[in-house]
Structure 1
Amino acid sequence: MAKATKKQALGRGLSALLKDPENDIQSASDKNADKVVGNIIELDLEHIEVNPFQPRSNFNDETLQELATSIKELGVIQPITVRKLGFNKYQLVSGERRYRASKLIGLEVIPAYIRIANDQESLEMALVENIQRQDLDPIEIALSYQRLIDEINLTQEKLSDRVGKKRSTIANYLRLLKLDPIIQTGMRDGFLSMGHGRALVNIDKKQDQISLYEKIISQSLSVRDTENAVKTYHIESNPVEKSKKKIANVQGFVKEGITELTDRLSVKVDIKATDKSKGKITIPFHSEAEFERIKKLITGA
């Protein structure tokens, strides 16, 4: 308990240091920067602004209230991270839920780590930190990956190294952004899993995506059901594939018929069929006697 009290006292002392204009810190080389950067400091909530680069946009009211209740009882256990903007002015890098919950219960100060970073570094820190969270939905993760690629100019390979994820995993998330916005919203609201989304993205036409999405919701289709529905969609919408399926069906009964007739007549029967289930049967014979034998088997005479 003594350690906690000492740390809190240190945080208040450094907080007072930061409120002194003569000791203002703008870079890592400034006086007292080593005392501030990386240490836990109590900052006034009113001097902290929300990070415009924050990739997380959905905050569940119920879970936020639960966090606020926890903070009211136990305090902010994990400090937030901020970057210094100017004298007595800071911007969130990570910890917006803790920040919002603290404001919700009327706290005036919050423990924070102070970083000195430019906009690009701030964006990257915020995005990478949020990607590592367990409660982000697939679309939030996909948007975070896309922003790192677009705004930090990272390739998928470099992004893979930066966030510790396989390149194929990143590619699968990014493909979700090809879904219709209505479906993306459904995923964010928990109506669809990432597996459903990965199946639906294989349909190019947005309207057809939505039609299957509505079927998934109304019939509670599983991921496997959805994958099969997408396969059926491609067969039905592709004349070549549809024709192949018909031929395959025809060949199925033809194959059984060849075996049955060959066994019955004791000759190698040949059957040819079209995609309309039409065709012809060829029964070979090599002598008059064999012809008479086959005729009797067919006519029963």
Structure 2
Amino acid sequence: MSEDTSKRRLGRGLAALIGEMDQPETTAPSRAKADSFVPIEHVTPNPNNPRRQFDPDDLKDLAASISQHGVVQPVVVRTRGAGRYEIIAGERRWRASQQAGLVEIPVIVRDVDDRTALELAIVENVQRADLNPLEEAQGYQQLIAEHGYTQNDLGDIIGKSRSHVANSLRLLKLPEIVRSMLAGGQLSSGHARAIAATSDPTKLAREIVSKGLSVRDAERLAQKDAEIGGAESEPTRAAASKDADTLALEQSLSNVLGLKVEVSHKSRGGHIRIDYKSLDQLDELCRLLGARS
């Protein structure tokens, strides 16, 4: 079996590995079956868990529910030797159980490697919408960097489009101050994606926050930024005279790509410039060029 086939099959089987962990918690729940109960102090978080932030009020509410009903959804763990366990999915429930003063918690034990454990953590959190956009992107980046996944692989595993994965990863390239606004909830992922490819994301992010602008407003700001950038570079492009062959080549490439193309050729080489106005156009360009990242 090829590695790509193995990854695709693994992606389709993640729900089975998690069991019923993606079901929402309720106040009158049916209890999921656990493999066993283990001392809570023998369970430790996974250092690679993409989720880093846990709302204190949310934990307090869950702890109160656990005090009344117990842990309805067992924590998914893997063994770490000497009666110790590492969390794969359910760190929030584990934290709330500690606050509720539980001595032991129900667990489902899975025998998985580091790569699968990270996949499971990402899938569960994405299904529950528990990750902020940066945590989600960092989880994707970790699978790419450490385990050789492509954006297409990740889309198959998490049930999202490749463009969703690509747009998430672009958030990691934003300036730190903009990432902080995003993590803190001042900006939505829609706002951040809209300004990710602009000339000054920090300036636009501050304007969005100070004026309380919508995502649609942010997209208009980004479009205006692109138009200004194009206007400023137009004199430079017009200054260079081009022969008929070069102009014909530019037109041919523009027709194929559906985007504006500029070819600058000199005696020892040159360059091709392709202008796009949105992240969707960039994704389509990558598809046409057969890019895999």
TM-score over 0.5 for the alignment?
Answer: yes
Cα distance in 2 for residues equivalent to 1:242 and 1:120: 48
Cα distance in 2 for residues equivalent to 1:122 and 1:72: 28
2:101 to 102, 106, 110: 106
SS of the aligned residue for 2:148 comes to coil
Counterpart AA for 2:206: E
Matched, 1:234 2:226: yes
What TM-score comes out, normalization by structure 1 length? 0.63
Matched, 1:132 2:132: no
Q: Matches of residues 195-206 of structure 1 in structure 2 within 5 Å? A: 195-204=190-199
Q: What value does the CA root-mean-square deviation take over the aligned residues?
A: 2.0
Deviations 1:8-67 (A, max 9, x none): xxxxxxxxxxxxxxxxxxxxxxxxxxxxxx952101001111111111000000101000
Q: Which runs of 5+ in 1 are unaligned?
A: 1-37, 244-301
Q: Matches of residues 215-230 of structure 1 in structure 2 within 5 Å? A: 215-230=207-222
Cα distance in 2 for residues equivalent to 1:238 and 1:167: 28
Cα distance in 2 for residues equivalent to 1:144 and 1:45: 26
Matched, 1:178 2:173: yes
- Asked whether the equivalents of residues 50 and 122 of structure 2 are also in contact (C-alpha less than 8 Å), the reply is yes
Cα distance in 1 for residues equivalent to 2:93 and 2:142: 24
1:212 corresponds in structure 2 to 204
Cα distance in 2 for residues equivalent to 1:135 and 1:86: 29
1:121 to 102, 113, 116: 116
SS of the aligned residue for 2:115 comes to helix
Cα distance in 1 for residues equivalent to 2:229 and 2:119: 43
- Asked whether the equivalents of residues 131 and 144 of structure 1 are also in contact (C-alpha less than 8 Å), the reply is no
1:96 to 91, 96, 104: 91
Larger radius of gyration: 1
Deviations 1:61-118 (A, max 9, x none): 0101000001001110000011001021111111000000001121110000011223
Q: Which runs of 5+ in 2 are unaligned?
A: 1-32, 236-293
Counterpart AA for 1:147: Q
Cα distance in 2 for residues equivalent to 1:232 and 1:39: 55
Counterpart AA for 2:102: L
Percent of pairs identical after alignment? Answer: 42
Cα distance in 2 for residues equivalent to 1:157 and 1:238: 32
SS of the aligned residue for 1:51 comes to coil
Deviations 1:193-228 (A, max 9, x none): 121111110214xxx211111111111111122122
Query: Quick one: higher RCO (CA 8 Å, sep 6+), 1 or 2?
Result: 2
User: After the TM superposition, which of the residue ranges 106-115 and 123-132 deviates more from structure 2?
Assistant: 123-132
1:241 is displaced (CA, Å) by 6.2
The count of corresponding residues between Structure 1 and Structure 2 is 204
Deviations 1:130-157 (A, max 9, x none): 2322232211111111111112211111
Q: Matches of residues 1-301 of structure 1 in structure 2 within 5 Å? A: 39-204=34-199, 208-240=200-232
SS of the aligned residue for 2:79 comes to strand
- Asked whether the equivalents of residues 235 and 242 of structure 1 are also in contact (C-alpha less than 8 Å), the reply is no
What TM-score comes out, normalization by structure 2 length? 0.65
Cα distance in 1 for residues equivalent to 2:211 and 2:115: 45
Cα distance in 2 for residues equivalent to 1:161 and 1:233: 34
SS of the aligned residue for 1:91 comes to strand
Counterpart AA for 1:57: R
Distance 1:211 1:171, change over 3 A: same
